[in-house]
Amino acid sequence: MQADVMWGSRWSENSLAMARVYMEAVCRKQSLVCLAADRSTMAELEQLIDEVGPYIAALKTHVDLVDDWSPDAWSAFCSKAADADLLIFEDRKFADIGGISRKQMSGIYDIRSWADLVTAHLISGPDIVDGLQAGWSDVGRQGGVLLLAQMSSRGNLLVPDYTGNVVSVGKNHAGVFGFIGNGSRPEELELLRKAVGDGKLIWTPGVNLAVGDGEMGQRYGDPREAVLAGSDCIIVGSGIHKAADPAGQAKAYADASWNAFVERCE
């Protein structure tokens, strides 16, 4: 089925080109999975794309945790991701003032040149979004910002009032692709979706088929429940990359997310 029909008002009310690129990718791949590719060598990262590329719609990176990072190896990795039809999302969690965030898009990692999406906290005010967008403009590219409205880790300080403020600023900002919501708590996610409406996407970490507490305060919720509560993308890391059979697990997450999406559309 066509992406505009499947996504309905999420499609028609969203003005950001990158959001539609994602929505189309989901329908092509029948997966709402973004893989959190938290492996620490270039070879392991490349292997992950080979294994799970067909079952995921986007790839989330932490460029600064790779032990043997080099510009050439990273560029080859990004080409591989493009060949596998994947959006690249650098989970950098920018938080500085606008002008510095713009500069941080360049530097040694040059995030602006390869990332389609980045995360940011809104703690420093709305100019951070303009700064990040200026970073992409500086190299003639376009991208989208995901603002942290909630987090999945226990004891985080993104309390409901703060979440409300992030949403009210972000939902009216053209450079905002969407919001990060807490995938481990469907009831919190439902409230977030109500506040956000249909004009922006919500992506959710803290998702695992094994629901419960993870390492160091991470919390996990069920993929189907997250999508039914309003998540447009489940971000899954260790559930896939630490599995004995990453491809099999990636397919299981793809199926769970896609089936829940179809159920939500009915």
Binding site for ligand 5BU (CB under 6 A): 36, 38, 62, 91, 119, 148, 151-153, 180, 205-206, 214, 218, 235-239
Which residue's CB is nearer to ligand 5BU, number 7 or number 61? 61
Question: Which position among 29, 60, 80, 93 bears the catalytic label?
Answer: 93
In the complex, the smallest distance separating the C-beta of residue 71 from ligand 5BU, rounded to whole angstroms, is 22
Which residue's CB is nearer to ligand 5BU, number 199 or number 206? 206
In the complex, the smallest distance separating the C-beta of residue 138 from ligand 5BU, rounded to whole angstroms, is 25
In the complex, the smallest distance separating the C-beta of residue 214 from ligand 5BU, rounded to whole angstroms, is 5
Which residue's CB is nearer to ligand 5BU, number 27 or number 111? 111
Q: How would DSSP label each residue in the chain?
A: --HHHHHTHHHHT---HHHHHHHHHHHHHT--EEEE---SSHHHHHHHHHHHGGG-SEEEE-GGG-TT--HHHHHHHHHHHHHTT-EEEEEEEE-S-HHHHHHHTSTTTTGGGT-SEEEE--TT-THHHHHHHHHHHHTT---EEEEES--SSTT-S--HHHHHHHHHHHTT-TTEEEEE--TT-HHHHHHHHHHHTTSSEEEE-SB-SS-EE-GGG-EEB-HHHHHHTT-SEEEESHHHHTSSSHHHHHHHHHHHHHHHHHHHH-
In the complex, the smallest distance separating the C-beta of residue 12 from ligand 5BU, rounded to whole angstroms, is 27
Asked if 80 is an active-site residue, the reply is no
Which residue's CB is nearer to ligand 5BU, number 38 or number 116? 38
Residue nearest to ligand 5BU (CB): 237
Active site residue ranges: 93
